[in-house]
Amino acid sequence: MASTSDIPVGGGKIFAEYDLVVTQPTVGTFAAFSATCTHQSCLVTTVDGGTINCPCHGSRFAITDGSVTNGPAARPLPARRIATAGTSISTA
């Protein structure tokens, strides 16, 4: 699906075709979440400033654990499973 070098440290990348956001909060630590906002099911579109951002109503989610940092979303982004092997990231 991606290379570890595709995911910036302190940021992330959205894979809309997989409904997935992959983040790298710290060097070598990867996390993955649904790319569908828990507020009204819009697709998140950016990862910036340590948050995953939804354009529809301004909800923001932490890149570390998907928790809500700014509403109106009240629920975190659901975690998704990924696998890393060497420099490759794949869906699990």
Contacts of 78 (CB under 8 A, 6+ apart): 33, 34, 38, 66
Answer whether 42's CB lies under 8 Å from 54's CB.
yes
Which letter does DSSP use for residue 75 in this model? S
Q: How many structural domains are present in the chain?
A: 1
Q: What is the per-residue pLDDT for 92?
A: 82
Residue of 28, 20, 39 whose CA lies nearest to 82: 20
User: Which residues form the domain of 55?
Assistant: 2-91
Read off the CATH number of the domain in which 69 is found: 2.102.10.10
In this structure, what token pair is assigned to residue 75?
């629920």
> pLDDT by residue (tens digit) across 23-56?
999 999 999 999 999 999 999 999 999 999 999 9
